[in-house]
Chains A and B, each alone.
Chain A
């Protein structure tokens, strides 16, 4: 079933080697990571060595070889955010989630990462959760943000 999804994505990009980054991106979005089998399958289908797919998968930040949390949290540590206290915000997330930066919670609901300038410096400090952007995040907003996604995830399960 997973392979069907991957095949569909490969087809959308006409199985072209030059589209490899785009294919990996779509697969990453679909599965939240790039499983080994998927990388093998893709490299064979578009006719590039596995080493090239692997080098892309480990080079770019958007790719992960391990499953990411359903809600990947990115705390921007770019300079503008840092000047406005992003370091403390990250610490607060670590403490409330009970995980270190770069890790995923056991229930796979949240992943926590530090990002480097996401380009919304005017809204600093900025936290991204999946595709959502949270602006001017103070340590007091950390709890409510987690609650927002904690609840949603429960609703999705039901």
Chain B
């Protein structure tokens, strides 16, 4: 039965963490109390994307967007908007620096600047209901592929679309498909690398449909979806979706009555970042330690259990159904010369609009940070952007107009990778960021090949030394040499990209390194061992009246002072932990 109004409440992880489900339950109760459930339906959707202002809800069909909702807002929302038809202004999005709210989702720049292909059903469906997916033309691409197209035609369409792997290297999908199709050996396998949870949480069927179409083109009969063990919700949703697809005949031994057979199975990881590397995923699915294999032979000839295997990431698979249903010429209108289509980015760090967005490839970093992202909180100056995840390079603010596609990012020493965009303002120290990235790579290195195993450890030692004030100018030279060796000689993608943060910061922020090794100072005050903390006696006494919070909180008992009197820090006891700076309400603690 059609409903007069649908309330799309975001059930994405971020909104749930902000208690969106409590809001939803309160909303449902209120509707029941007022006997409105016949005409108004509450739908729990996957991530809406605008995570920074969650919990969010969209009122359909009008498309009114509400943000930062709590159960307390329910009575007024129901009474004013749903009963009287007067949208509630105070719960709407208001752009920074203005007072006028923007009622409709489609008019909010965060949404209007996006192009949704992979995320086409985002926020519009309940990811646990296959009927919602079907109502949005779900599985029509599979039907078209199975009933109106030959395997060669499917392949040709994907090739014309120029679809490239969204995981990292950007290898053309069609070339991989052709290789698997032509390879000797049966059965052939498909693998979906599920390092990213968002699509599985918002629209799991699009991944299933994409894989089924790929299976038809390549002649594969079985597929595996690998999911990190950190993502239980994604695992639950994909299990549910696979079961539903089987029941309706979109998976199984006789798909849509065409006699075509394909089925999916889920493999859950056990906590290893390296397991996202292509050959390591295959090891995980085989139940082994996630150590990457040496290539060649490529997975397309010698993959899972030695059989031809096509491995692509979630986003790549989710792009397949729209390419088949709407055609390659539609798809190629988005993106840049060599990078067609869109990419999902996750905006995090010092950015106003944290969340998830889908934008055409070739978009400038400036548009990502200042357009969709809304800029930096408190309008602080941008220092650097790290794109592609922890092994991505750091791009300095002067290169903010770099187009974001595979080739341009490679030129500035970064990668498209996971699509994570970490925005950093002047509070971030580039040496410290490089250290933390290398600490990650060192921790996650599987240890199989020497350059990555030893090189990341050596780099970490040097960087730690520098951030603790014991670095020398010669260290910078060693660092550069080791980073270059690790980059050039490691066996897999983790190692070859691990040095990106070091190489790019050395290139673009050399001054900052020099300050650390020559003056033993950290200009951003992030390397705490290089800081000197002191209390401004005037501010402490006059504004804070010697409140004593820092004295009580100091773990070293290094702060001395009486109530109403200015306090001071005993430098010989201070461990430079920075607690006093964080707890002082009056900004009396200073650092230099």
User: Contact residues of A with B, CB < 8 Å?
Assistant: 17-22, 24-25, 52, 55-56, 59-63, 77-80, 82-84, 88, 91, 95, 116-124, 131, 133, 135, 139
Contacts and interface: CB of A to CB of B under 8 A. Distances in A.
Interface in B275-301: 284, 286-290
Given A79-B440, A83-B424, A120-B14, 12 more contacts: A60-B269, A61-B271, A63-B270, A79-B436, A88-B582, A91-B577, A117-B389, A118-B230, A122-B14, A122-B347, A135-B14, A139-B582
7 contacts: A62-B271, A77-B436, A77-B440, A119-B228, A119-B231, A121-B349, A139-B582
Interface of B: 13-14, 17-18, 51-52, 196-197, 228-232, 268-273, 284, 286-290, 346-350, 354-356, 386, 389-390, 420, 422, 424, 428, 433, 436-437, 439-440, 443-444, 446, 555, 577-579, 582
Contacts of A123: 13-14, 17, 51
A143 B459 CA distance: 35
Contacts of B232: 131
Top 8 A-B pairs, shortest CB-CB distance: A61-B271, A60-B270, A121-B348, A62-B271, A80-B348, A122-B51, A62-B270, A18-B287
B386 A79 contact: yes
B557 to A, nearest CB: 13
B422 A62 contact: no
Contacts of A77: 436, 439-440
Most chain A CB within a 10 A radius of its CB, from B14, B17, B582: B17
Contacts of A55: 289
Contacts, number: 115
A40 to B, nearest CB: 18
Given A20-B287, A78-B390, A122 B354 contact: yes
Given A77-B436, A78-B440, A117-B390, A135 B18 contact: yes
B433 A79 contact: yes
B289 A18 contact: no
A79 B17 contact: no
B270 A121 contact: no
B51 A19 contact: no
A60 B271 contact: yes
Contacts of B288: 52, 56
A56 B422 contact: no
A139 B555 CA distance: 14
B229 A88 contact: no
Contacts of A82: 433, 436
Contact of A133 (B17, B52, B439): B17
Contact of A83 (B349, B389, B582): B349
Contacts of B228: 119
Contact of A56 (B273, B289, B578): B289
A20 B437 CA distance: 32
Contacts of A60: 269-272, 289-290
A121 B347 CA distance: 8
A119 B327 CA distance: 33
A119 B286 contact: no
Contact of A80 (B13, B197, B349, B578): B349
A60 B422 CA distance: 27
Given A80-B348, A83-B424, A116 B273 contact: yes
A21 B287 contact: yes
Nearest to A135: B17
Nearest to A74: B230
B578 A117 contact: no
A21 B284 contact: yes
Contacts of A79: 349, 386, 390, 422, 433, 436-437, 440
B187 to A, nearest CB: 15
Contacts of A139: 579, 582
A76 to B, nearest CB: 10
Contacts of A131: 232
A79 B52 CA distance: 18
B349 A84 contact: yes
A123 B230 CA distance: 15
Nearest to B198: A119
A125 to B, nearest CB: 11
Contact of B270 (A18, A21, A84, A124): A21
Contacts of B348: 80, 121-122, 124
Contacts of B52: 122
B230 A122 contact: no
